[in-house]
């Protein structure tokens, strides 16, 4: 593209842009937009206000209903419930086995009596070897 | 009403309007704010959508979003780029949903040319209509870049900020878009003549 083409393009485009710029919008179109915007905002405000009132009214209704259903005389006597004694249960304890019973006695071991032991010390030919013999009273060796 | 506009056009009063709208939700103040920005919003929407009815819907949506977001805008200076951004987004959404439906011919009252001579007015309208058709063939980002840069007269830096891309990208998008527009108009005129 040479310089002349470029200049022609620029001029052409400038004309097109100018044509677009020159297209003026009728004033009624602006007014219509403004009107629509303002009425939309007012409508939204109205709706918000309406919902606020509705929620306040609903809260008030709930509060009133809850007050209406609360018992008016809180000091009313409580219903009397007849007392009943629980049925008596016959209970006989099982005989306890005492330690003196035969089986338990059989298990018990008598205390061992310690009898004195006799010690027999025997010397051998070797002085390093000593035989020690422990004997009880009966003569049995241990 | 004209007095209102003149008064509101001073920056100090704009800030005052914003504060009034923010603090009390004053609808009269918001109405004046809309008057300040209606050309910007509706003009951009019309160029992006090519249809006055759709453009009005888009402008309405953009202003409603502005009203909802008033408390998040700390400064009057932020309204203009913010509104451009929202308008472009709303138009893109509408364009997508419209593309999902069947293509619809242009409808609604035609914008009026400001030229006094009927012949040049007719040529101007025809040229405008042709550009309008050509714009519809562009992808979203390229269309937005061309409209904001060439038709709304914003700087490349402002366009880049609004579209959330770099200046280099915007320049490239505009260049590509201009090429496509030229091709379209040449093909269209060849067919017609």
- Specify the CATH number for the domain of residue B43: 1.10.1740.10
- Are B21 and B91 found together in one domain? yes
Containing H/E element for A135? strand A130-135
Domain boundary among B102, B129, B151: B102
Domain boundary among B102, B136, B160: B102
Residue B50 confidence class, pLDDT cut points 50, 70, 90? confident
Residues in CB range of B177: below 8 A, 6 or more apart: B138, B142, B143, B145, B146
The answer to the question of residue B114 being in a domain is: no
> The CATH number of the domain where B131 resides is what?
1.10.10.10
The answer to the question of residue B187 being in a domain is: yes
pLDDT digits (tens, 9 = 90+) for B80-134: 889 999 999 999 888 887 765 544 444 444 555 555 677 776 776 777 778 878 8
Locate the domains of chain A by residue range. 3-68
ipTM over 0.90: no
Residues of B in contact with A41 (CB under 8 A): 27, 30, 64, 67
Contact between chains at B182 and A9 (C-beta distance less than 8 A): yes
pLDDT digits (tens, 9 = 90+) for A11-32: 666 666 666 666 678 889 999 9
Give me the residue from B67, B124, B178 closest to A19, CB to CB: B124
Supply φ then ψ for residue A23, to 5 degrees. -65, 100
pTM of the complete model: 0.60
What token pair was written down for B57? 């819907």
pLDDT in tens, chain A (142 residues): 455 555 566 666 666 666 666 667 888 999 999 999 999 999 988 998 899 999 999 999 999 998 888 766 656 666 666 666 766 777 777 776 665 555 555 555 555 666 677 888 888 888 888 888 887 777 666 6
- Are B4 and B94 found together in one domain? yes
Q: Is A13 on the interface with B (CB under 8 A)?
A: yes
- Are B134 and B164 found together in one domain? yes
Residue that the structure tokens 């009624």 belong to: A28
What distance in Å separates residue A62's CA from the closest CA in chain B? 33
Give counts: helices (H), strands (E), chain A: 3, 3
Best residue of A11, A12, A17 to probe chain B, by most B CBs closer than 10 Å? A17
Contact between chains at A41 and B112 (C-beta distance less than 8 A): no
Domain extent, residue B42, equals 1-102
Q: Is A6 on the interface with B (CB under 8 A)?
A: no
Residue that the structure tokens 């009815």 belong to: B53
Contact between chains at A13 and B150 (C-beta distance less than 8 A): yes
Total number of domains constituting chain B: 2
- Are B14 and B82 found together in one domain? yes
């Amino acid at each position: 593209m040479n310089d002349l083409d470029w200049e022609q393009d620029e001029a052409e485009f400038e004309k097109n842009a100018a044509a677009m710029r020159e297209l003026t919008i009728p004033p009624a179109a602006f007014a219509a937009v403004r009107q629509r915007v303002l009425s939309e905002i007012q409508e939204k405000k109205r709706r918000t206000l309406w919902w606020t009132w509705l929620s306040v009214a609903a809260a008030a209704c709930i509060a009133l209903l809850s007050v209406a259903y609360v018992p008016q005389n809180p000091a009313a006597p409580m219903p009397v419930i007849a007392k009943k004694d629980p049925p008596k249960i016959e209970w006989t304890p099982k005989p306890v086995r005492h330690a003196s019973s035969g089986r338990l006695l059989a298990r018990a071991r008598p205390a061992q009596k310690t009898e004195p032991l006799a010690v027999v010390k025997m010397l051998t030919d070797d002085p390093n070897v000593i035989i020690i013999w422990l004997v009880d009273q009966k003569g049995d060796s241990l | 009403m004209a007095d209102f506009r003149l008064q509101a056009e001073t920056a100090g009063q704009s800030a005052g309007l914003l504060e009034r709208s923010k603090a009390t939700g004053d609808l009269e103040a918001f109405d004046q704010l809309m008057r300040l920005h209606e050309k910007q919003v509706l003009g951009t929407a019309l160029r992006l959508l090519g249809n006055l009815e759709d453009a009005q819907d888009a402008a309405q949506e953009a202003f409603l979003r502005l009203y909802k977001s008033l408390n998040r805008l700390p400064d009057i200076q932020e309204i203009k780029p913010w509104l451009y951004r929202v308008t472009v987004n709303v138009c893109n959404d509408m364009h997508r949903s419209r593309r999902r439906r069947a293509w619809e011919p242009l409808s609604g009252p035609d914008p009026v040319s400001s030229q006094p001579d009927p012949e040049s007015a007719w040529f101007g309208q025809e040229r405008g209509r042709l550009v309008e058709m050509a714009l519809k063939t562009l992808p979203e980002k390229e269309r937005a870049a061309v409209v904001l840069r060439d038709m709304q007269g914003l700087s490349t830096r402002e366009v880049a900020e609004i579209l959330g891309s770099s200046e280099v990208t915007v320049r490239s998008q505009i260049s590509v878009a201009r090429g496509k527009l030229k091709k379209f108009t040449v093909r269209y005129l060849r067919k017609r003549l």
